[in-house]
Amino acid sequence: NRLPLTYGYAVSPHHSGIYPVVDELYIAWKQYLNISVTSTEEYPKSKPARSKRGFTFLGIKVLPRQSTGVYTKNVFLESVPHLKQFALGGSLFQSVLFNEVNIFMTHMPNYSGDRLALYVFDALFQLLNYTTHLRLFSRKPTELARIYQSNNKDEMNGGPIWTNPCLYNRKHIELWPLNRTPCALPNVLIAGPQKTGTTALLKFLLLHPNVCSSKQHNVTYEEVQFYNKNRYYWNGHGLNWYMARFAECVHNQVPSTIIIDKSAGYFDNSFVPFRSHRLLHQTLHLVIIILDEPMRRAYSWYQHLRARNHKTALKYSFHHIISQRNSSNKNVEAIRKRCLLPGIYSKHLKNWLKVYNRNQLYLVDGMELRKKPIPILKSIAARLKIQRTDFEFSHYVRYSERKKFYCIGQKKTNPNLLCMGKGKGRIYPPMTLKAKAFLHHFYSQPNLELKHLLTKLKFKAPAWL
């Protein structure tokens, strides 16, 4: 009806698409209607009212909206006998008391019959006037967004922290588009760190008929990197993109019982434990972490960059890079951090243990994985309760004398072995004595802390420690 949209604010029919987020809605609002502000009652969950938060997605600010206690069906007071209590000291009163910005939505039927919208706000404002010194102001949505963001910068400068629309809130699944697959989420994480054998472990586990992982991606390949990369976690990708990576696992003729997200950059990223726990905590079985000898891991990362013709790695020696603390050369500093910091295992494990309990972590000795992978694979299968009498890892995982590590190949039907690509299992020139001495000193205290932590948690210490 050509109604003017002068406030840059909108909500969608039935509130669907705001949260859980449907990207197309935000894109259309931004491109065609110049919408900059919206609101939702559902993030991260609808109750209690004080828990509601805001976020920003694709440049549109999403403010928390509070419930008035009256809905479309409520015309007469007898249909909502609790309404006076709700306003007079109940959650509606508390919402205004504890939130500096409040957005409410009423419906046309609330202004007919007993005019409940006017009834509830008249009662609320009288109580606030008699019992508090609060001063109330009305502002345009864009101004409310500015005020809310100025007081909640960390919250509003990032996108939403995703939750599971299938399990976290029944209403969330009701708001989900019918053409989406909201339940395609992993229940196992192989978290890394990089250059410890995570790809080999994934390939071996995928031999099991009940195991599936994300489909190949033209940028991240077999990895997803959802929780550690904002460009995937937000910025036009988000939860829909993440679930699409696993859709084939639930659409198979026989759906997989174990779905793995293998992303080796997860382990040492401080955001990942919290983000992954918020989304997966009700369904996640295991977080698998490989603890390889950190000196070996650091050197392997450097050699990996050289093999990929990284200019800085080709220009400088390994010892030069790792020993240049706070280098003015940004490329040297970046490589130094990626070589050294993931190997401070105790620090990163403590970060995971802030949100996951000890029994949800499965630690793998990187040295044992290279030498004797079969017992590790069987142990993981037992933890995941997917043992089968018609399947044995030993029938498919065999040692290659040529590559000097384990590869894939069935003895009876395929005598040839399928090994990892040329980028895996490289043989490097020996590390210099200077580099060894530096790394030994660098990791001596972190390794001692790791040993104490593993002992405290009753984990078996890796053989290299």
Alpha helices by DSSP H, 152-293:
153-156, 170-174, 198-205, 230-233, 238-244, 247-251, 272-280
Please state, in angstroms and as integers, the Cα–Cα distance from residue 203 to each residue in 196, 206, 211, 262, 459, following that order. Answer: 14, 5, 10, 10, 25
Enumerate the active-site residues: 195
Which among 112, 167, 149, 132 is positioned nearest to 37, based on CA atoms? 149
| Rg, the chain, Cα only | 27
Please name which of 332, 350, 321, 329 lies closest in space to residue 456, comparing C-alpha atoms.
350
CB contact set of 207 (below 8 Å; sequence gap of 6+): 393, 396, 397, 408
Residues 6+ apart with CB under 8 A from 451: 461, 465
> CB-hemisphere CA count at 13 Å for 236?
4
Q: At what angle do helices 330-340 and 294-307 cross, to 10 degrees?
A: 140
Q: How do beta strands 397-400 and 211-213 pair? A: unpaired
